[in-house]
Structure 1
Amino acid sequence: MHLDLPNAHPGHSAHFTDYRAAEIGQVSLSPDGPVEAGSHASFTLVFTAGRFGMDDTGSLRICTRQVSDVGRPQFTDPKAANYVSAEASNGAKLTLEFNPKLAMRPWSRTLTVTVARGFLSPGDTITVRLGDQRGGSPGLRMQTYCEAKFHFLVLADVFATCNWALLPVQPGVPVIPGPAVRPLAILPTRRAPGEGFALLLRADDRWGNPAPLPAGRHVLRASAPIAGLPESFDWPAGARAHRIEGLSAEAAEALVIHWNGTPSNPLRIEAGPLTPYWADLHGQSGETVGTGTIDALATYSRDLAGVDAICHQGNDFQITPEGWADFDRAFAAFDKPGRFVFLPGYEWSGNTALGGDRNVIFPDGGRIIRRSCHALVEDLSDHATDALDARQLHAALRAEGRPVLCIPHVGGRYANLHFAHDRMLERAVEVHSDWGTFDWLLHDAFDVGARVGIVANSDGHKGRQGASHPGASQFGSYGGLTCLLAENLSRAGIFEALRRRHHYATTNAARVHADARVTLATQAALHIDDPSLAGAPDAQTAQAMMGDILAGVADDTALFAAELMAGSPIERIQLFNRTELLEVIRPAAPLGQRLRVVWEGSEYRGRGRETVWTGEISVSGTSWGAVRPINKFNLDHKFAADATTLRFQGVTTGGFQAMEAPLLGLDGTLHIRTNLVTAEVPLRQLLAGEAVWEAGGLGRRMRAFLLPDAAPSVLRFERRVPLRRDADNALYLRANFEDGSVLWTSPIYLLR
């Protein structure tokens, strides 16, 4: 290839220059000891010019990772947080600027220090105070999640050519958890009588990082007899979690273990052909754009989050051939059937115009990575295996003739199902992750005739796959989980559950028992694959579980039956046929005086989807008790209430946030004054149903409603549902729980 440019050469470059990097200069950082996640700190970073000095208009770049939520540097208010200053030892004039997307991914958050007038000689220094506290600033707000070593990546352009050298020694500090504030006790969801299970205990700090507990005696109490459960135990020194194995029970509808008074999620003791296993099938480590090593990520998922299965989904355009081989090593090393499953995979990260993001998942190792491009991979030796759009990806994967699945999702790029959808490969869509909640992707799937299940994962970038707090940056939601109904805990078992769409999804890493089934009057053909692929049916049956496809349905109605059992009261259940809301089912309890006000939705589908909410919610003519936030994860946002007024800030990215308060009476008025909604409604009017105020965007609105004084956490129901003749029937439920979590069952497809 000939490039008609001066001094242009063929090839591909995706790295900072290493030209005489050892002679460019040196950098030091103090202090360099551990710092608490989310705390304020002050660092002094000193660059000492090497043999070339630094020319007039040369510069330093101090970069942090794209996903880091370390405070945004500011240069104008010495009393405010994140104040940064810089000075040159020889008096050269320096300027500072910050751009969150300047340097090469994943180090895109860039503080630039430019020699605006003058120059540096060899040995001269630039001193940058990150979180300069001399003028009263509390310091630089550190990132809210833990990292073995958080780096300030320093690049230097000493020749003023805009070609930055990566210095050979880079400064960094460990980021450690703060004090534990939120204990969690985690059990499986269902196990057979006498089958062994484990209890996982951990306590998170205020930013969702598992934290060590002080030495002391801990008490356990169970709601039903459990063999092997100690009455008390001593917390292991320095441990961030504790797992008690070898437990079993003979009978219990909703077994709960209390850890020092904190209840676990409920466990059903009941035999069944399939067992529920919890998975987070979407996250990535620091080898791509995430945090930490893949080994650290898998260890967190298994030992701290306590999930049964994961899949690593690194951006393909950042995975080198050597990196792919190392990932394959980690997939195999951590995969232990019966204990923890690590499915191989990667994220095909094509631009939305060419199909958008897909998770590619394999049941075995040693597979080919088919990248959407080599944008950040210099080695082009395997570029012939690239699939430059989603149609090429589907064709190449089919041509291999080996088992593989693709899951469209919404991340930085959203999946474009109208550009490409493959009925054989794509059997689920991801409706929730740290990025937000995306029911519209399921609706897109229905629009293109897809017959897919529903998954939720974290798409975690902060090293916390399986229990993924969003932190304080562009991520708006706590990560989700997928409950897979499988014959066993193995790669083959988990993959087959995905292939059959036998799964349901939750937000906020909620562990909920869910069951949804359909009964027909006459039998129909049960298909594992989409019937449009012309495969033979698997069986004839009049019953279907979530994810099943029945073809040749002659009935005009179907009996839909469901059960939910959660650790939180149920707020509402919505029963859908495709996008049609058939019914809203609420617990059979009279409305009380608990007020909930919700703000939800997003700007649009793409990267700028965050909707910022700010304003106040108040009542007149009455007052309320303690106001509690729902789904408020960013502690930087205001949430301040008195007896009648809440002043708040929030961000939603397709999901929702809310406030809840016990009213002292209903003879009053609710007032809403926010940047997007201004409204009022008599409180007694809410006894007739919720009030809704639309606010444009994508599902963006505010809602106000009353809750029962007490609601159940278990609900069973049956509904006779009319079946459509003009399109597929896709019956599923979407449930909201009072703690802010949401659940979807995979649709049951009934085809004529």
Structure 2
Amino acid sequence: MSKIKIGHRHDRIIPLRDLNHYPGSEYLDMTIYLPWSKDTRRRLWLMGTRRRPVISIGDTTLNPKKASNQKPRWIDYGSARLPIITEPNFSLGSFHQLRIRGMEGCECVDSYLVITRMRNLMLDGCTLPETERKLWGLARCDAGETTLEPSRVTVGSGATFTAKYRAGAKGLPAGALVRFAVAKAFSGPQTEDPDAPGHVSIDEADCQVSITTIEQSIESHEKIDIICYLESGLSPATGFTLVYRTDRMYICPGGFMESERRFWYSHLPPLSAAVALSKDLPFVSLEDNRGHIFRVVPGKCRRLHLFLPGRRFYSKNLSLKGTFTDHYRNSPPAGKVDANIELCLLRGEDRIPLGSAEGHFTDRHRFEILLPRLDPGFYRAFAYHSGTLEELARSNPLEIIEESDQQDSLYWGEIHGHTEMSDGCGDYSELYRHAKDEGCLDFAAASDHAEYLSDNQWLRMQEVTNSHDFPGRFVTLLGYEWAGNQKDRNVYTSRSRLKLFRGNHPATDSLDTVWSFFRDDKEVVGGPHATMVHRTVWQHHNSSVERFAEIYSMWGASDFRDGPLVPQWIEEGRGLTVNDLLLKGAKLGFTAGSDCHEGHCGFSSEDPSGQGSTPHTFASVLLYRSGMTAAVMPELNRFSLIQAIRDRRTYATTGARILLEFNVSGFAMGSTGTAGEANCLARVHAVQPVCLLEIIKDGSIVCSEEFDDLDVSFRWLDPSLPQEEHYYYLHVVQVDGQMAWSSPVWIRPLKEPRYSA
């Protein structure tokens, strides 16, 4: 196989129909992507009806030089140096804020912006296809068309795809190339073994065609490109067929309808095609209506999930909620739901019948049953098939506490989800509905990447988040993920507005700048996630803002380098573990999340039998189920939630809603205190039997005890007296492999002043 290398498509045509508007804003805006290049000078042309719109890309502003009188009307902005990165990075290019003043939203539908390295290019009177030919040698309307069979596949099932490519009315010359894209979440394409997963071959052809290159895409780190060489070219309306077999499939439903790879994360269907007239010209995407589309659909109903609240005082609005899903936890599932079930609560040996789910459905796949008056204690709900009495599902434990009890309530949620607003998919507003209705969470937050968001988008996103906030019932936080020179951090606030910092902008690409702005702000909190993967470093830690670490997500666990859930995408010498950060002096509480990129916060797709091996999203490196955060707080509202995170009154789980309490010499998790000894007390009420409890002290497991029970208590006295400050936390393992981590407690020797923070 003789590999062919083709460079980036540096000459871009940007459809301005995607510009964003916000009432009162003085400009339209959008985020654009430009590949890296050592030459940063570009010439700009705008096709539109307005006479003098002003264009800004980042901090570079361009005024119109002249406008043609021919139709279509082009405005020449001359050339300027743009803030393009000059070396390749993880994103293979850079994202920029495009702002246009002097243009109305309705005028954008048929307007285009050309950004090109061709400084002498003239576009007066050129149609869009003529412009494409000048830039790329080929117009999208001449690039041909494709069909795909099957075009609809059930989640998690393998498929043998047949992609038929047919040349356009102009045909293709000898030496032309056709590129097909395959997601890394699928079986890796190969030509050597026809019986192995990923095998790709040419089936039928009207010309001499060969697969010459299979390699990592230079435009996307999530795609593999298959490049076919047409030795003799193609006559008009002739073509060839490519066959590709994958044993792996997305486990989350969704539609893939894009033809153009505008961003590295563009959601292309399998075997999406692009054409280059020669190895010296760039690949050109097919027109949107000439490329194929693809849809992944849910499977049949296979699972029932039951949810109870965490810890509450009794009230009349406590309820049991149930959600039916397919095998991969997608809701609603395809087909009918069998509602032939009986439900009950168990408290020890006491059984409290709840009756049938019939009559309590809030949707065709969800039900909710109000709970009767409950005395203080621990409860679990069970679902049984009415005919066979087979156990179908069990809930998490619920603790009802005395009215006079000094304990705070415990709430479940997840604050790290991505949507189509950045490099994910799924509607932004739908993320909150899904978290509340499907996942039965108490709180949620989206955390889309700040550098992908335009100003007007962020204004609208804040309003959407605020509209889903209902104190006492369901709470949302404003938040985003910052990524710059000091790696990734998530930032959240209890307010209705949050200043946006983009890590790819020169003025805000330093974490020190971000933390300095938020320093001592008690309504803002930040923290790292997947610390080993993202190469988290210590030097930029700011204790007034950075109060938590996401110890677990779909990446895996970040507590130890040799743990059972260690992320697979790490190398020797990468970032610090959470224990490394604690040992350096950071005082961080623990949260867990998903980092899900499908807009399914806290209740995302999972493969129950494929933890650590099945890609749980379109990103091939996210191999574990979504995590969950427990927040201990007096009431359910934004301010209490931010304070719980800041005060480290949270703990993390791999998704199971395990109740736990952990204190050291009377000091609750998250606190700092002085004591003459470290007396650790743990109480756990699990979803499945607990098989192991571990106490970690200063990054080492100092005590390990095996169990086989749903409800366990454990006490351990550290035989060594504290001579300096030490931290302790609890690690819980269930028999099914699900885990939980309490936030740490810091104990100082008695010779130091006593305080708690």
Fold-level match, TM-score > 0.5?
A: yes
Measure how far apart 1:316 and its partner are: 3.2
3-state secondary structure, aligned to 1:713: strand
Change (3 A) 1:200 1:157: farther
Change (3 A) 1:444 1:299: same
Measure how far apart 1:143 and its partner are: 1.8
Q: Which amino acid in 1 is paired with 2:729?
A: Y
Structure 1 residue 513 corresponds to structure 2 residue 659: yes
Q: Which moved more, 1:50-59 or 1:254-263?
A: 50-59
Match of 1:562 among 665, 682, 687: 682
Measure how far apart 1:233 and its partner are: 1.5
Change (3 A) 1:64 1:331: farther
Q: Please show how residues 588-607 of structure 1 align to structure 2 within 5 Å.
A: none
Q: Please show how residues 186-585 of structure 1 align to structure 2 within 5 Å.
A: 186-210=307-331, 211-212=333-334, 213-223=336-346, 229-233=354-358, 239=364, 241-260=365-384, 261=391, 262-271=393-402, 272=405, 273-350=407-484, 354-373=485-504, 383=505, 386-398=507-519, 403-410=523-530, 413-440=533-560, 441-468=577-604, 469=606, 471-472=614-615, 473-507=620-654, 509-519=655-665, 543-550=666-673, 553=674, 555-585=675-705
Structure 1 residue 127 corresponds to structure 2 residue 241: yes
**Which residue of the partner structure matches residue 174 of structure 1?**
295
Query: 2: distance between equivalents of 1:514 and 1:113?
Result: 54
C-alpha contact 2:396 2:687 (8 A) present in aligned 1: yes
Match of 1:742 among 739, 742, 746: 739
Query: 2: distance between equivalents of 1:126 and 1:7?
Result: 38
Change (3 A) 1:501 1:5: closer
Q: Please show how residues 96-111 of structure 1 align to structure 2 within 5 Å.
A: 96-104=212-220, 108-111=222-225
Change (3 A) 1:160 1:581: closer
3-state secondary structure, aligned to 1:75: coil
Deviations 1:670-695 (A, max 9, x none): xxxxxxxxxxxxxxxxxxxxxxxxxx
Match of 1:586 among 702, 706, 714: 706
Q: Which moved more, 1:314-323 or 1:2-11?
A: 2-11
3-state secondary structure, aligned to 2:585: coil
**Which residue of the partner structure matches residue 91 of structure 1?**
207
Deviations 1:381-409 (A, max 9, x none): xx46x42232233224339x573211111
Query: 2: distance between equivalents of 1:119 and 1:287?
Result: 40
Change (3 A) 1:235 1:270: closer
Deviations 1:262-292 (A, max 9, x none): 3222211114542111111212123333332
Deviations 1:495-548 (A, max 9, x none): 1110111011111x11111112344xxxxxxxxxxxxxxxxxxxxxxx432112
Query: 2: distance between equivalents of 1:175 and 1:5?
Result: 40
C-alpha contact 2:727 2:745 (8 A) present in aligned 1: yes
**Which residue of the partner structure matches residue 277 of structure 2?**
158
Measure how far apart 1:130 and its partner are: 3.7
Q: Which runs of 5+ in 2 are unaligned?
A: 1-36, 44-79, 85-92, 96-114, 117-127, 133-138, 258-267, 385-390, 561-576, 753-757
Deviations 1:360-419 (A, max 9, x none): 22223432221221xxxxxxxxx46x42232233224339x5732111111684242323
C-alpha contact 1:63 1:103 (8 A) present in aligned 2: no
Q: Which amino acid in 2 is paired with 1:314?
A: D
CA RMSD after TM alignment: 3.3
The percentage of counterpart residues that share the same residue type is: 22
Match of 1:62 among 180, 197, 206: 180
Query: 1: distance between equivalents of 2:328 and 2:177?
Result: 35
**Which residue of the partner structure matches residue 144 of structure 1?**
251
3-state secondary structure, aligned to 1:233: coil
Query: 2: distance between equivalents of 1:326 and 1:92?
Result: 52
3-state secondary structure, aligned to 1:301: helix
Q: Which moved more, 1:121-130 or 1:739-748?
A: 121-130
Query: 2: distance between equivalents of 1:726 and 1:268?
Result: 37
Query: 2: distance between equivalents of 1:245 and 1:220?
Result: 10
3-state secondary structure, aligned to 1:357: strand
C-alpha contact 1:96 1:111 (8 A) present in aligned 2: no
**Which residue of the partner structure matches residue 110 of structure 2?**
none
**Which residue of the partner structure matches residue 670 of structure 1?**
none
Change (3 A) 1:569 1:371: same
Change (3 A) 1:238 1:484: closer
Query: 2: distance between equivalents of 1:344 and 1:87?
Result: 51
Query: 2: distance between equivalents of 1:412 and 1:173?
Result: 35
Measure how far apart 1:244 and its partner are: 0.4
3-state secondary structure, aligned to 1:372: coil
**Which residue of the partner structure matches residue 689 of structure 1?**
none
**Which residue of the partner structure matches residue 713 of structure 2?**
716
C-alpha contact 1:411 1:435 (8 A) present in aligned 2: no
Change (3 A) 1:81 1:575: closer
**What is the TM-score of this pair, normalised by structure 2?**
0.69
Change (3 A) 1:194 1:82: same
3-state secondary structure, aligned to 2:508: coil
**What is the TM-score of this pair, normalised by structure 1?**
0.69
Change (3 A) 1:417 1:167: same
C-alpha contact 1:70 1:142 (8 A) present in aligned 2: yes
Change (3 A) 1:159 1:222: same
Measure how far apart 1:6 and its partner are: 9.5
3-state secondary structure, aligned to 1:516: strand
Deviations 1:469-497 (A, max 9, x none): 26334333222111011222222221111
Change (3 A) 1:215 1:447: closer
C-alpha contact 1:179 1:205 (8 A) present in aligned 2: yes
Measure how far apart 1:246 and its partner are: 3.3
C-alpha contact 2:360 2:369 (8 A) present in aligned 1: no
Deviations 1:192-226 (A, max 9, x none): 12352232223443334343543442211222599
Q: Which amino acid in 2 is paired with 1:173?
A: F
C-alpha contact 2:693 2:732 (8 A) present in aligned 1: yes
C-alpha contact 1:222 1:256 (8 A) present in aligned 2: yes
C-alpha contact 1:27 1:45 (8 A) present in aligned 2: no
Deviations 1:611-635 (A, max 9, x none): xxxxxxxxxxxxxxxxxxxxxxxxx
Deviations 1:98-145 (A, max 9, x none): 33443236xx313333324122344343433343xxxxxxx6643222
Q: Which amino acid in 2 is paired with 1:10?
A: R
Query: 1: distance between equivalents of 2:695 and 2:417?
Result: 30
C-alpha contact 1:3 1:10 (8 A) present in aligned 2: no
3-state secondary structure, aligned to 1:289: coil
Q: Which amino acid in 2 is paired with 1:715?
A: V
C-alpha contact 1:103 1:110 (8 A) present in aligned 2: no
Query: 2: distance between equivalents of 1:23 and 1:223?
Result: 65
3-state secondary structure, aligned to 1:439: coil
In the comparison of the two structures, how many residue pairs are matched?
Answer: 575
Change (3 A) 1:292 1:194: closer
C-alpha contact 2:360 2:368 (8 A) present in aligned 1: no
C-alpha contact 1:357 1:413 (8 A) present in aligned 2: no
Deviations 1:540-589 (A, max 9, x none): xxx43211223xx2x311443221001211112112332243322333xx
Q: Which amino acid in 2 is paired with 1:125?
A: G
**Which residue of the partner structure matches residue 23 of structure 2?**
none
Q: Which amino acid in 1 is paired with 2:199?
A: Y
